[in-house]
Amino acid sequence: MSTAVLWFRRDLRLADLPALLSAGERASQVLALYVLDDALLRPSGKPRVAFLYGCLKALSDSLDGRLMVVHGDPVREVPRAAASVGAESVHVSTETAPYGSRRDRAVAEALGDVEWVETGSPYAVTPGRITKPDGDSYRVFSPFYRAWCRHGWRAPAAGSTVEWIEPERPGRIPEAPDLGATPLPPPGEAAAHDLWESFLDDDLRGYATDRDRPDRPATTRLSPYLRWGCIHPRTLLADLEARHGKDVESLRSEIAWREFYADLLFHRPETARRNYDRRFDDLRYDKPATTFDAWRDGRTGYPIVDAGMRQLLAEGWMHNRVRMIVASFLVKDLHLPWWLGARHFMRHLVDGDLASNQLNWQWVAGTGTDPAPFFRVFNPTTQGEKFDPHGDYVRRYVPELREIGGKAVHQPWKLPSLPRGYPEPIVDHAEERKIALTRFNAIGK
């Protein structure tokens, strides 16, 4: 009787899982395995870890408790698990992120004669598959998107019924860290599909115009589920195939941005920590001080910035438009390096994804692939007035300003007196914009 190991990582689901199909085709019995890896857990914030544990519990329940959970170095633990059931093969979804690809090469070597089988990936199109006619990678989203659409993607994988092995040492999913009052989305595959179906029925219409409005519940909120693979982007794309219009196209484009950044990181893994455009290595930054603390705590005196930073601390999530606003403020108003903000986001975001987080920060900072990037300096006041025109988002997260009606909430310094407990703006945006552009010009751009 042949046996195999299915090692779950960023694919915590049973539907639309090519690696599961591959394991079922090669073996009559399959061991479901998850390795709690400190190299990934240590830099993860409490919200992301708590959501992961919830997703593992949901996966284990769907396997009737037959999920083997071990804690340790995968280079040691995966071969040990394979040996415990006499597995002839280990099946995984392909990992292309810097750490994951290094880890997988080491695990495959440690397995010796046990076959290592990679099938599928966390993306509709695996990073590295799409290249320009000259074989080089794309550096600009629009041509990448056109090539990505032309390339296309497979239909969702068929279901598979396998005999799951009862592990001798099933292990225990740790208790989730205490998050206090922080609300997390319900974890797991079923919750992801319920949310997606609800979005298709109720919220897809208007997505193209409303997705930039943080005062409206207009986004999919699927990012935590995509992060852990509770649902696959191929599933979303398949459901969009029969639909048409600007809302569908806008959502398809947002899915493609996630794939674009994964592709960039695959080709340039060092950009997880360093500037994509190395000319910006000479840009002058200030040293972190009280201004960074004010930004981190949502005490800058700019309401839309403070609302976003407080939402992050309260919910482990932030609306995407506001992520761009607060990132621009850190880099171009406070003159602090993007990686400080990226690290803070990764500590707190339940959907923290290395490629999307780091390269979105670089897009805003102007150090990434955008052909005319650094001149884009978001004005936090006009951004707030445009995308939160009635002030509802700010009032939701900044209680000191709840008595101010309408869009006046975005300029509380114009009132006869500031509301009690709310700070004066810590910088003058117009002046800091000039400084940012002067420093940009000094590096010879």
| Cβ-contact 70, 56 below 8 angstroms | no
DSSP secondary structure string for all residues of 91-144: EE----SHHHHHHHHHHHHHTTTSEEEE---SSSS-TTS---TTSPPP-SHHHH
Cα distance between the two ends of the chain: 65
Beta bridge partners of 92: 118
Tokens of residue 224, six digits: 């935590």
Tokens of residue 168, six digits: 């001798």
Where are any strands of DSSP class E within 129-287? 163-164
Q: CB under 8 Å to 365, separation ≥6 — which residues?
A: 280, 327, 331, 332, 338, 373
Q: List, as residue ranges, the binding site.
A: 207, 219-223, 254-261, 351-353
How distant, in Å, are the alpha carbons of 118, 182, 194, 324, 397 from that of 357?
25, 21, 26, 11, 23
| Cβ-contact 307, 400 below 8 angstroms | no
| Cα angle for residues 94, 100, 101 (degrees, 5° grid) | 65
How far is residue 243's CA from residue 352's CA, in Å, rounded to a whole number? 29
Q: List, as residue ranges, the binding site for FAD.
A: 207, 219-223, 254-261, 351-353
Q: Is 298 helix (H, G, I), strand (E, B) or coil?
A: coil
Q: CB under 8 Å to 231, separation ≥6 — which residues?
A: 13, 16, 189, 192, 193, 196, 222, 225
How far is residue 376's CA from residue 329's CA, in Å, rounded to a whole number? 11
